[in-house]
Amino acid sequence: MTTLLDGRIALKHGAGGRAMRTLIQDVLLAGLGSGDWIGADQMDDGAAIRVGDAWLVITTDSHVVQPAFFPGGDIGRLAVCGTVNDLAMMGATEPLGLTCAVVLEEGFARESLQRVHESMRLACLESGTTIVTGDTKVMGRGEVDGIVINTTGVALTHTLVRDAGLHAGDRIIVTGTIGDHGLAVMATRHQLGIEGTLRSDVAPLNALVRTAMAAAPGAITAMKDPTRGGLASALHEMADKGRVGVVLEENALPVSDAVRGAAELLGIDSLHVANEGKAVIGVRADAADAVLRAIRAHPLGREAAIVGTCLAERPGLLVLDTGFGRRLIAEPEGEPLPRIC
Amino acid sequence: MTTLLDGRIALKHGAGGRAMRTLIQDVLLAGLGSGDWIGADQMDDGAAIRVGDAWLVITTDSHVVQPAFFPGGDIGRLAVCGTVNDLAMMGATEPLGLTCAVVLEEGFARESLQRVHESMRLACLESGTTIVTGDTKVMGRGEVDGIVINTTGVALTHTLVRDAGLHAGDRIIVTGTIGDHGLAVMATRHQLGIEGTLRSDVAPLNALVRTAMAAAPGAITAMKDPTRGGLASALHEMADKGRVGVVLEENALPVSDAVRGAAELLGIDSLHVANEGKAVIGVRADAADAVLRAIRAHPLGREAAIVGTCLAERPGLLVLDTGFGRRLIAEPEGEPLPRIC
């Protein structure tokens, strides 16, 4: 419902939480057509279009991270990995190619652009894809803050995975430690003096996902990457769409010491902090161990863990089991930090 | 060659002319891979990836036009048409779908976003496609000027057309009057008091191109839409890639009275001004009349004209025949006006 307070766009509308979902549903999806595709109205991380007997998966993201260079990566690596990962989350682990559209501020250093480009090139090599086409726009000084990069990716798959597929009884795997990206960017941006210990996890997950899918064909029921809004936001959306309750075991959650310390210092719950190299994977219970083993055998999945279970009760809700008791986790309104990706 | 003067990005690097081509070649294409696709290194308006016996064409553009609303259209219509047209220029006239990634400034009016969205919806209907997925980011006040929209489109085609395909003897068709978009935006932005007579030509050309291709199968040798940098920039690039000289007959060029008047007033050559609803089409001479007739029968092509001829001599050069004599037209360094699309 549009109210006067809703008359202007706020930072929360881009922050990956409830405010953004509502804006998209109320405004951006209004009146869009339907057809032989699974698209925007389903609000996966991408769309899937029928092409012969396969699905053409397509996904897009604009990247506005600030600062553009941070420990563990930069906006170029982030753009490539973000798009490769969104494809992978839908079961499309072999990108046909990516597009790259750059918006630059007049006066942006050419050397910085070269660094960003080199990061993109390396991240493409790492994920087995390439930039096939692009676009370059320049805005005047003060009209855009440095650099914005849009990457869009396409891939074919025969095994479409959705973020809505959780069933009661499914186990939830997280492929590694949580909160690394968001806290690394936050610490760098605000020069908190703890940057040395924090490092973004930004990485392409398509090979890891391929391994996981091959370990137990058909057993993966849902995937999502916990970016803006963190694990809490991703699991809320998955629980809501799958109409299951999710119980998360706090003690099972992989969190690095650096992130734990920084989160305590800042009074932020790492459950709500963005990741850029992690996946949340729903798996049938009987295949959970096999899938976990396969993920752990991959260099990016060494710290993967089974962290939760889906229930028929409390559909749409996320419950944290602390070991001492259980409490509901509210869906975050949005990521605590703007321009995290 | 990188010099000290080239150390920072200037407006010209996004302006569609020589400066932009050089930046892309020197920086953005460095070290990209190659494969079973025609891509960035060819610098068409998009890439084409082999999928079975067809080509998957993909093209991307970020739109930064200022102001976002102008006579004849707005940034939403521009984004959809720009992408539909880039696909069509490669012979892919039936888009499978578009992505839409919006970057908004905090405080942007929700009502304006709704207007933009409605324009996109209508332009999609007009071109027979839809938005299949999207992304929303918000930057703080003063971090981006209003709204930036990236659209990326995909389409399959069996008949790939390139912008490099001109041969000596081919005729050049322009599908209508030139300069309308750029001058309408310029007059509105600077409140020149002549806005009433100028109107952007922004429109989706895929149906018109389909008609043109069907009129003489195989006879169209090259296409390009003369956006940033105008007809001069598009023809320069086509002449350069096709290794032909192009002679343009000034008296044959369709120009509206409003554009002619405004261009004279401002001392700008409409040859260098952006269009958003026009195509430059190279056709084998024996089929030129048939293709022209088909284009003129389409509502968006009523003022189409044969405006030039390709020669084996002077490869890469563009020559204007004024009726009194001939003169070379230099490749523009870039569009005279920033943020025109």
pLDDT of residue B185: 96
| Bond before A338 cis per omega within 30 degrees | no
**Residue carrying structure tokens 């929209």:** B149
Rounded to whole angstroms, the Cα distance separating A201 from A180 reads: 6
Q: Residue B221 contacts by C-beta under 8 Å, 6 or more apart in sequence?
A: B161, B165, B166, B167, B170, B282, B283, B284
Question: Tens of pLDDT along B121-168?
Answer: 999 999 999 999 999 999 999 999 999 999 999 999 999 999 999 999
Closest CB from A7, A37, A152 relative to B152 = A152
Secondary structure letter of residue B195 according to DSSP: G
Q: Is the pLDDT of residue B15 over 90?
A: no
Q: Is residue A124 part of a domain?
A: no
* Count of CA atoms in the C-beta half-sphere (13 A) of A329: 27
pLDDT of residue B43: 64
Most A CBs within 10 A among B150, B162, B163, B225, hence the mutation to make, goes to: B150
Most A CBs within 10 A among B26, B43, B61, B138, hence the mutation to make, goes to: B138
Q: Is residue A243 part of a domain?
A: yes
A45-54, B30-39, B271-280: which is most confident: B271-280
Contact B52 A52 (CB under 8 A): yes
Mean pLDDT of B53-60: 95
* Residues of A with Cβ-Cβ distance to B134 under 8 angstroms: 24, 28, 40, 60
Contact A28 B134 (CB under 8 A): yes
Q: Residue B97 contacts by C-beta under 8 Å, 6 or more apart in sequence?
A: A37, A39, A47, A49, A58, B129, B130, B131, B132, B133, B153, B154
Contact A13 B44 (CB under 8 A): no
- The alpha-carbon gap from A115 to the nearest alpha carbon of chain B, in Å, equals 10
What does the mean pLDDT of chain B come to?
92
* Count of CA atoms in the C-beta half-sphere (13 A) of B66: 16
**Measuring CA to CA, which residue among B212, B210, B236, B232 is closest to residue B284?**
B212
pLDDT of residue B195: 67
Rounded to whole angstroms, the Cα distance separating A91 from A206 reads: 9
pLDDT of residue B2: 38
* Residue B338 pLDDT grade (very low, low, confident, very high; cuts 50, 70, 90): confident
Residue of B nearest to A133 (CA): B40
- The alpha-carbon gap from A176 to the nearest alpha carbon of chain B, in Å, equals 25
SS3 B7: helix
Share of chain A above pLDDT 90, in %: 81
- Choice among A23-37, B187-201, B209-223 with the minimum mean pLDDT: A23-37
Contact A37 B132 (CB under 8 A): yes
Q: Is the pLDDT of residue B89 over 80?
A: yes
Question: Tens of pLDDT along B214-272?
Answer: 999 999 999 999 999 999 999 999 999 999 999 999 999 999 999 999 999 889 999 99
* Residues of A with Cβ-Cβ distance to B64 under 8 angstroms: 103, 137, 139, 143-144
Question: Tens of pLDDT along A150-200?
Answer: 999 999 999 999 999 999 999 999 999 999 999 999 999 988 887 678 999
**Tally of CB atoms within 10 A around A313:** 11
Number of domains in chain B: 1
Mean pLDDT of A309-338: 91
**Measuring CA to CA, which residue among A51, A67, A169 is closest to residue A112?**
A67
Q: Is the pLDDT of residue B99 over 70?
A: yes
Q: Is residue A209 part of a domain?
A: yes
pLDDT of residue B33: 63
What does the mean pLDDT of chain A come to?
92
Q: Is residue B320 part of a domain?
A: yes
Q: Is the pLDDT of residue A40 over 90?
A: no
* Residues of A with Cβ-Cβ distance to B117 under 8 angstroms: 27-28, 30
pTM over 0.90: yes
Rounded to whole angstroms, the Cα distance separating B177 from B277 reads: 9
CA dihedral A261, A264, A267, A268 (to 10 degrees): 60
**Residue carrying structure tokens 């993109």:** A120
Q: Is the pLDDT of residue B26 over 90?
A: no
Question: Tens of pLDDT along B58-86?
Answer: 999 999 999 999 999 999 999 999 999 99
SS3 B308: strand
Rounded to whole angstroms, the Cα distance separating B329 from A13 reads: 48
Q: Is the pLDDT of residue B325 over 60?
A: yes
3-state helix, strand, coil in chain B (%, to 5): 35, 25, 40
pLDDT of residue A221: 98
Q: Is residue A54 part of a domain?
A: no
> Which tokens belong to A76?
């170029």
SS3 B158: coil
Q: Is residue B65 part of a domain?
A: no
Q: Is the pLDDT of residue A41 over 90?
A: no
* Residues of B with Cβ-Cβ distance to A132 under 8 angstroms: 37, 39-40, 47, 49, 58
B52 or B45, which is more confident: B52
* Residues of B with Cβ-Cβ distance to A108 under 8 angstroms: 8-9
Residue of A nearest to B117 (CA): A28
Q: Is the pLDDT of residue B4 over 50?
A: no
**Residue carrying structure tokens 């299949």:** B132
Rounded to whole angstroms, the Cα distance separating A218 from A101 reads: 35
Provide φ and ψ at B233, rounded to 5°: -65, -45
Q: Is residue A297 part of a domain?
A: yes
Contact B110 A7 (CB under 8 A): yes
Tell me the DSSP string of B45-101.
SSEEEEETTEEEEEEEEEE--SSSEETTEEHHHHHHHHHHHHHHHTT--SEEEEEEE
Residue of B nearest to A131 (CA): B32
Closest CB from A64, A133, A140 relative to B60 = A133
Q: Residue B287 contacts by C-beta under 8 Å, 6 or more apart in sequence?
A: B215, B216, B219
Q: So what's the ipTM on this one?
A: 0.94
* Residue B104 pLDDT grade (very low, low, confident, very high; cuts 50, 70, 90): very high
Q: Is the pLDDT of residue A4 over 60?
A: no
Contact B139 A150 (CB under 8 A): no
* Residue A246 pLDDT grade (very low, low, confident, very high; cuts 50, 70, 90): very high
* Residue A47 pLDDT grade (very low, low, confident, very high; cuts 50, 70, 90): very high
Q: The domain spanning residue A244 has which CATH number? A: 3.90.650.10
Share of chain B above pLDDT 70, in %: 94
Question: Positive or negative, the Cα torsion across B89, B94, B96, B97?
Answer: positive
Q: Is residue A125 part of a domain?
A: no
Closest CB from A34, A46, A138 relative to B9 = A138
Contact A133 B46 (CB under 8 A): yes
Share of chain B above pLDDT 90, in %: 81
Residue B299's domain spans which residues? 171-328
- The alpha-carbon gap from A240 to the nearest alpha carbon of chain B, in Å, equals 20
Q: Is the pLDDT of residue B180 over 60?
A: yes
